[in-house]
Amino acid sequence: MEYEPVPIISRDFVKIVVPLIDSALFSIDIIVFDWRFYKKEPDNPVTLFNNAIANAVDRGVNVRCLVQNAGVVNNLKQMGCKARFLNSKRILHTKLLIIDKNSVVLGSHNYTQSAFISNYEASIFVNLKDKNNALVEYFNNLYGL
């Protein structure tokens, strides 16, 4: 089933995206430019997002992440994610989250306190008809580098 895109404006990211993560059945694929961890702040919206990712891993969801920060890779691996560092001179500026190959969040939100609380950000959530879509192919191509 295909739905109209849902806009995700600024502070709404966690409110909209965490339930999507909670609904993941078998896979979550993520590419993001900046991802932070506020481990000593349990009520921080980024911590709530990160906890949803960790809970998905605990449920048996295959979570693959591609980033350009080695410290982020280490944090993600500690959470049980399959994380890779893209070693490239080109900047990995994409912000893409794919759930079960066809539910997609794409936009400007990094996974940071600033993006979730204070920045002007805009992303969209959309369900795509085909699980073999261009965004899945894009992720797989970059993840395989």
Q: What percent of the chain has pLDDT over 90?
A: 90
Nearest to 51 by CA among 26, 96, 18, 73: 18
pLDDT tens-digit series, residues 8-23? 999 999 999 999 999 9
Tracing tokens 């066809």 back to the chain, one arrives at 102
Residue type, 133: N
Q: Which of 143, 145, 106, 114 lies closest to 38, judged by CA?
A: 114
**How much is the average pLDDT of 119-133?**
91
Ranges of each domain in the chain: 6-143
Eight-class DSSP state of 117: I
What single-letter amino acid sits at 113? Answer: Q
Contacts of residue 69, Cβ cutoff 8 Å, sequence gap at least 6 = 34, 35, 85
What CATH number does domain 6-143 carry, 3.30.870.10, 3.90.400.10, 3.90.1150.200, 3.40.30.10? 3.30.870.10
Strand ranges for the chain from DSSP E: 6-9, 27-31, 62-67, 82-85, 96-99, 103-107, 122-127
| pLDDT band per the 50, 70, 90 thresholds, residue 145 | low
Q: Per-residue pLDDT tens for 20-76?
A: 999 999 999 999 999 999 999 999 999 999 999 999 999 999 999 999 999 999 999
pLDDT at 116: 97
Amino acid (one-letter) located at 118 = S
Please, is 82 exposed, middle or buried when counting C-beta atoms within 10 Å of its C-beta (0-12, 13-18, 19+)? middle
Its pTM stands at: 0.94
